[in-house]
Structure 1
Amino acid sequence: MTQLLDPAPVAEPGYAFDNSSDHPIAQFACLAAAYDPFTIERLAATGVGEGWHCLEIGAGNGSVARWLADRVGPTGRVLATDVDIRRIPSYPAMTAERHDIVHDPLPAAGFDLIHARLVLQHLPQRRAVLDRLLAALRPGGWLQIDEFDVSYGPVLLAPDARSAELYERFLAAKARLFEAAGGRVVWGRECAAELREAGFTELDPQPKVALWQAGHPGLELLVSHLDGLRDRLLEQGLTAEQLDRVRVVMRHPQFQAVSPVVYSVHARRPR
């Protein structure tokens, strides 16, 4: 596999989280538990197998990249990239490299499959990144992008009306801070149309929601955000007391909500 250029250290563009802290450890574990099954089901549908060259963007703790490495076997390769690769373990048929998808180059026509989950929605430069990904795929190669639309996620049951309102205020504050950082919190539903505009073909967007209740890794992901985004949530008008209270609400045995919609979108570079 073509080695990427050694990128110069740069700040994460438009990314609200601080990956230099310990908060991402819990965040990555929750992401893997909540979303790896759907992500892997969709990746398997591309036919990825022996000998493929794959790129995993924003690999986090490498859980999806390791699955890909097992699929492509000793004759294939997986390149797992992130702006911070300290939490990506060594693994056969997999290489981890620090890479900023906004600023750093990719090899032309270097990959049979590219996957990114919950990365592009954070980037104001999404459209330019799609052009870069198209060029990095081999003709006929697959792209899979998994992204949220957080405009949907109603409370179904809560201990009381005040708890339901507080949960919704927390979600609204989190959405505002992502948008302020240049993110697009409904991009999941817009992704397929933008991929078509960028020149991709064979678009296949698949939505999925889940029931969240106490202990669900999707809810625990939100709980981890209370720590990782605490200062920014306070800036959005929530109080320390409200942040503590919404943590209790999300872990209450009577709480149930629908997850945001996650869209897994398949697309291909024209042959």
Structure 2
Amino acid sequence: MTTTTTGTGTPASSPGHYTFDNANPDAEQQVRLLAEILDGHTTDVLAREGVESGWTCLDLGAGAGTIATWLAGQVSPSGLVVAVDQDPRHIRTHQLIDVRIADITVVDLGTDVYDLVHARLLFMHLPQREDLLRRAAAALKPGGVLVVSDWDCRRLDEMLLRSTTDVAEAFLAFQTALVGLAVDNGASADWANRLPLAMLDTGLVDVTAKVHNELWRGGEAGCLLHACNSRQMEAALLSRGVTAEQLAVLREGMADPATVAWSYPMVTAIGRRPEQ
């Protein structure tokens, strides 16, 4: 069974916060859609890193727990996966997953502990991202691998390829407001582009990176995620100037099979801690 431990709590003065709330009624659908959109890419990358039985892995900001569960299958029967999240309610129990409830920005990750550290759609949201990168690198055993994936949110006007004019206008207004809200909360729209150099500056070696994207049609996971995000963040979006009519048009467009859209480009960077 999964064991759940509690890490260091969030200090009152901690700057920035994660924009989305796992307790929101739409959060379960959101993390499920994210897994459907991204898990194939993530597991392909991790498989090429040779995750094997007996490894100890750390999954930061584990979300739905699907990657932690995949890793548990790879390290079985003698390995362990530690999944850290401030609200891990969507992570299913597994005998090889140790769920730790903690504020990732301050929790002690240890030193020389893990064969693999993984994080997806986490660093971009945290103003302490560079400090966390250093701590994640230090948590690796010598020769261990760090895999970080984040969305590049700089080209919002290039995402929607085909739809009506009304949907296109609503889509861009929604994306601009959503990314603006995230940035106000401490996120970085261009962090993914800087991620490989940040890994090198941290002292990691053999750093590589790739950009992943997929095309989605209305009614598919990549479009339904936008509709889901619009519901989860509706009050904040309205306060930022997006109208209720625009949100309704957006949701209708994201369900229309005639709509064609890219996801945000995902940058996945991989680095290794030097052997000692």
* TM-score category of the 2 structures, normalised to the smaller one: over 0.9
**Which residue of the partner structure matches residue 272 of structure 2?**
268
| Aligned mates of 2:231, 2:166 — CA distance in 1 | 22
Contact 1:4 1:106 survives alignment (8 Å):
no
Q: 2:239 aligns with which of 226, 229, 235?
A: 235
| Aligned mates of 2:78, 2:176 — CA distance in 1 | 47
1:202 offset after TM fit, Å?
0.9
The 10-residue stretch of structure 1 (218-227 or 141-150) with the greater mean CA deviation from structure 2: 218-227
**Which residue of the partner structure matches residue 160 of structure 2?**
155
**Which residue of the partner structure matches residue 52 of structure 1?**
55
Q: 1:206-243: per-residue Cα shift (whole Å, max 9, x none)?
A: 10111121122121111111111111111221011211
- Residue 124 in 1 paired to residue 142 in 2? no
Contact 2:5 2:99 survives alignment (8 Å):
no
Q: 1:258 aligns with which of 258, 262, 265?
A: 262
Read off the aligned partner of 1:184 and give its amino acid letter.
Answer: S
Contact 2:196 2:208 survives alignment (8 Å):
yes
Contact 2:5 2:101 survives alignment (8 Å):
no
Contact 2:153 2:265 survives alignment (8 Å):
yes
Q: 1:28-85: per-residue Cα shift (whole Å, max 9, x none)?
A: 1001100000000000111110100000011112100000000001211000110011
Structure 1 residues 5, 60: closer, same or farther in 2, change over 3 A? closer
| Aligned mates of 1:244, 1:5 — CA distance in 2 | 40
| Aligned mates of 2:25, 2:18 — CA distance in 1 | 16
Contact 1:175 1:185 survives alignment (8 Å):
yes
- Residue 98 in 1 paired to residue 98 in 2? no
- Residue 34 in 1 paired to residue 46 in 2? no
- Residue 80 in 1 paired to residue 78 in 2? no
Structure 1 residues 171, 130: closer, same or farther in 2, change over 3 A? same
| Aligned mates of 2:66, 2:6 — CA distance in 1 | 24
Local SS of the residue matching 2:252: helix
| Aligned mates of 1:223, 1:185 — CA distance in 2 | 20
Read off the aligned partner of 1:201 and give its amino acid letter.
Answer: V
| Aligned mates of 2:218, 2:27 — CA distance in 1 | 21
1:148 offset after TM fit, Å?
0.3
Q: 1:43 aligns with which of 32, 42, 46?
A: 46
**Which residue of the partner structure matches residue 133 of structure 1?**
136
- Residue 176 in 1 paired to residue 180 in 2? yes
**Which residue of the partner structure matches residue 9 of structure 2?**
8
| Aligned mates of 1:107, 1:87 — CA distance in 2 | 25
Q: Which runs of 5+ in 1 are unaligned?
A: none
Local SS of the residue matching 2:193: helix
1:9 offset after TM fit, Å?
5.5
**Which residue of the partner structure matches residue 66 of structure 1?**
69
The 10-residue stretch of structure 1 (131-140 or 11-20) with the greater mean CA deviation from structure 2: 11-20
| Aligned mates of 2:39, 2:203 — CA distance in 1 | 28
Local SS of the residue matching 1:138: strand
Identical amino acids, percent of aligned pairs: 33
Q: 1:88-118: per-residue Cα shift (whole Å, max 9, x none)?
A: 1111211111122101111211100000000
- Residue 189 in 1 paired to residue 193 in 2? yes
1:185 offset after TM fit, Å?
1.8
Count of matched residue positions in the alignment of Structure 1 and Structure 2: 268
TM-score between the two structures when normalised by the length of structure 1: 0.94
Q: 1:244 aligns with which of 231, 234, 248?
A: 248
Q: Which runs of 5+ in 2 are unaligned?
A: none
1:4 offset after TM fit, Å?
7.1
| Aligned mates of 1:196, 1:25 — CA distance in 2 | 35
Local SS of the residue matching 2:141: strand
Contact 2:6 2:100 survives alignment (8 Å):
no
| Aligned mates of 2:75, 2:201 — CA distance in 1 | 30
| Aligned mates of 1:93, 1:154 — CA distance in 2 | 39
| Aligned mates of 1:95, 1:125 — CA distance in 2 | 24
